[in-house]
Amino acid sequence: MKFGILGSGSWGTAIAKILTDNGNTIHWWNRSEEHIKYIQERHHNPQYLSTAHFDISKLKLTTSCTEVIENSDCIVIVIPSAYTVDALGELDRNIFKGKKIISAIKGILPDSNLLLNEYLKKEFDVELRDYFTVLGPCHAEEVAAEKLSYLTFTGLDEQKTHEIAACFKTDYLNTVENSDIYGVQFAAVLKNIYAVGSGIAHGLDYGDNFLSVFIANCADEMAGFLKKTGIKNVEVGHTDTRQPFEGHRANNYAASVYLGDLLVTCYSLHSRNRAFGNMIGKGYSVKAAQLEMSMVAEGYNASKCIHIINRKVLADMPIADTIYKILWENLSSAEGFNKIEETLV
């Protein structure tokens, strides 16, 4: 199986490390010729995860998305959602024909409020059966440090999902599989919004006791949204007993890709969404916080996208709605969290 990676930020670099550590040669897209030359000479990314060392013989580096796609069977798309359309928009409509797409994007495309699979179907006629996701509680920094992590691979084609997951399994990375394409993507979007809220709370000097209650309520709110959108895997304590592959266990809402990813993104100091929210809570404007960070906080755009999507879903989402108002409607953080306090149980 030949892999291509579109995206060279911290998570793209982590995925490149995982695949090459497991013996795969990859085609890897980077916007900058200068950065490509640096990686070829120094064996690490100059901007992201500089401790991750690469065997250069396993890297085919290029500034051409088309070249990566044409030379790969499976294309991992790991571009921040805000820039995905710019990166893919000029490609030939038939370029993904016969390819498998693996999304590592934890966001909604903000201009259209579409998940990546919906955009690819609309613009490139990519069928859902050829679309997979790789998501879960897996910070790039810990991958670089080879600390044990878990990733969930999701797809309708169970056999192909298993084959793809096997290419990522290493001594420091365990893999889980399921078929809940929409559920895992919406959970990944929502947890970023709640992580911004967790950061705001920290910036406002709320303590651990409050944060535990806040995050528990976020989990319940997330589950309510997923149920309203028709997602099945939200029942805690119930799992499908089918095990088509050794070690495979069907997911429920308490699994790593749902609740686990929410917890780590809300609590971890590696979380860029939490860091972004922390600055907002301390009084930074959105623009100032964005300028301060060198990486994209997906929860910012996601809060607006979910606000718009929920006009149709009609889930009860007082926490996400308040975070949206803080980020987009100039509601003060203190006033917003005073309102959130009244909704928590």
Q: Is 303 helix (H, G, I), strand (E, B) or coil?
A: helix
Domains contained in the chain, CATH given: 3-179 (3.40.50.720), 183-343 (1.10.1040.10)
pLDDT value, residue 237:
63
- Whole-number Å distance between alpha carbons of 75 and 3: 6
DSSP code for 194 = H
End-to-end CA distance of the chain: 49
Instruction: Give the Å distances, CA to CA, from 34 to 41, 84, 116, 179.
Output: 11, 22, 29, 40
In the β-sheet with 74-77, what is the strand arrangement from edge to edge?
Answer: 59-62, 26-29, 3-6, 74-77, 100-103, 131-135, 149-155, 173-178
Helix or strand run (H / E) with residue 111: none
Token code pair at residue 308: 């718009």
Q: Compute the mean pLDDT over every residue in the chain, rounded to the nearest whole number.
A: 92
pLDDT, tens digit, 9 for 90 and up, residues 42-63: 999 888 888 889 999 999 999 9
**Over 60: is that where the pLDDT of 165 sits?**
yes
User: What global pTM score does this model have?
Assistant: 0.91
**What mean pLDDT do residues 87-107 have?**
94
Cα 6 from chain centre: 14
**What mean pLDDT do residues 303-329 have?**
97
Instruction: Give the Å distances, CA to CA, from 39 to 50, 59, 69.
Output: 10, 9, 21
Kindly indicate the confidence band of residue 251, based on its pLDDT and cuts at 50, 70 and 90: low
